[in-house]
Amino acid sequence: MRALRTLMSAIAILVGATLVVLWLVSWVTIKAVQEGDATERIVVVALKNPAVTSKIGTEIKGRAFEALKDIGIDLDVWGVGDAAAQSITSLVETEEFRASVVEQLQTARQQLQEELTAPNRPRGPFEVAINTSELVNERIDQVAGAAVDIPNLSVAPVRIEVVSADTFETVRTGYSRMEFAKRYFLWAGLAFIALGMLVSTRKRFVIAKFLAAVGVFSLGTYVALVWIGSDRIAGWLPGGADGSWASVFGDALANDALPAVTGKLLLAGGIALVGAAVAALLGLMAGGSRH
């Protein structure tokens, strides 16, 4: 009977430690989404993709010339149509454009969280709308100069597809599971700790055992994530290493998500092991008989 109680206590402590670590990882990931770090990173990374920037540049040029047509202006008449088209198309490759996009991401941050959690969201890609009117007007003024009097244009916002429809559905499912883990796993972990305390034959060492398990699991997860690396993790994402999600999320994982998670795991592991040592010392000092 004593052996069975010891085994049950050990299992409860291990399960509790695992739930606490999963809660920590989920908390860090969701925090990155809520604070906008994830949104900014994946958009910036997307803008480094030549296929994405080429499509966006063409769309901005088309919308700009539509706006010109609406007010009855034909730049070809003034001999600057081709120069304006080239200047506007290349706008998306500039640091000026990327800075403008980052400044406009406040709405997109909230949009990402809403679309990740909306229960009845229609299946479709995750896109962000970017206003380019100011930048387009500056480019046209530079090309046309003082020879052409062009009023400020109101250019329709360009939409940037950040995540494809199929991938975003997978991401929504994963985010839902992380929200569930963030909401319940900490409390479930604590409940397993209480169970371990009830069935343990050496109750004065239960806290030390739990903290040691949390420390080992945290440091073990840290070592595993560092060893695996962001490139291999990105390769596990939908579409594989060459898929659109891996190409967009790979840099975000390397620069934001992975360091944040591993940093928290390392800190939690160190604190837990120190706490385990203190709890074990207190248990030894307390003495007492087995129960």
User: Do 84 and 57 share a structural domain?
Assistant: yes
User: Do 247 and 175 share a structural domain?
Assistant: yes
Please write the tens of the pLDDT for every residue from 172-213.
887 888 889 889 998 998 888 778 767 766 666 777 877 887
pTM higher than 0.75 for the full model? no
User: Do 234 and 153 share a structural domain?
Assistant: no
User: Do 144 and 129 share a structural domain?
Assistant: yes
Looking at the domain assignment, is residue 291 inside a domain? no
Looking at the domain assignment, is residue 90 inside a domain? yes
Looking at the domain assignment, is residue 222 inside a domain? yes
User: Do 50 and 13 share a structural domain?
Assistant: no
Which DSSP state fits 147? G
CA distance 235 to 256: 17
User: Do 53 and 20 share a structural domain?
Assistant: no
Looking at the domain assignment, is residue 33 inside a domain? yes
User: Do 12 and 51 share a structural domain?
Assistant: no
Total of domains in the chain: 2
Structure tokens at 118: 């909306």
Residue 4 is predicted with a pLDDT of: 77
pLDDT tier, 171 (very low <50, low <70, confident <90, very high otherwise): confident
Residue 284 is predicted with a pLDDT of: 79
Domain boundary among 96, 130, 164: 164
pLDDT at 72 over 80: yes
pLDDT at 244 over 60: no
Q: Which of 21-35, 83-97, 125-139 has the lowest mean pLDDT?
A: 21-35
CA distance 156 to 158: 6
Average pLDDT, integer, range 113-118 = 84
Structure tokens at 277: 């040592």
User: Do 133 and 63 share a structural domain?
Assistant: yes
Residue 245 is predicted with a pLDDT of: 46
User: Do 271 and 178 share a structural domain?
Assistant: yes
Q: How far is CA 214 from CA 12, 16, 85, 217, 222, in A?
A: 12, 8, 59, 5, 12
CA distance 169 to 178: 14
pLDDT tier, 291 (very low <50, low <70, confident <90, very high otherwise): very low
Q: Which of 10-19, 29-38, 99-108, 210-219 has the lowest mean pLDDT?
A: 29-38
Domain boundary among 103, 136, 164: 164
Average pLDDT, integer, range 136-165 = 79
Domain boundary among 136, 164, 192: 164
User: Do 271 and 177 share a structural domain?
Assistant: yes
Residue 234 is predicted with a pLDDT of: 55
Question: What residues make up the domain containing 15?
Answer: 2-37+168-286
For residues 197 and 203, is the Cβ–Cβ distance under 8 A?
Answer: yes
Question: Phi-psi category of 150—alpha, beta or left, where left has phi over 0 and alpha has psi -120 to 50?
Answer: beta
pLDDT at 145 over 90: no
Q: What is the average pLDDT value for the chain, to the nearest integer?
A: 77
Residue whose pair of structure tokens reads 């840290």 in the numeric block: 222
User: Do 70 and 20 share a structural domain?
Assistant: no
Residue 183 is predicted with a pLDDT of: 92
User: Do 128 and 62 share a structural domain?
Assistant: yes
Please write the tens of the pLDDT for every residue from 247-289.
444 555 555 556 767 787 788 888 988 988 888 888 778 765 4
CA distance 153 to 144: 14
pLDDT tier, 214 (very low <50, low <70, confident <90, very high otherwise): confident
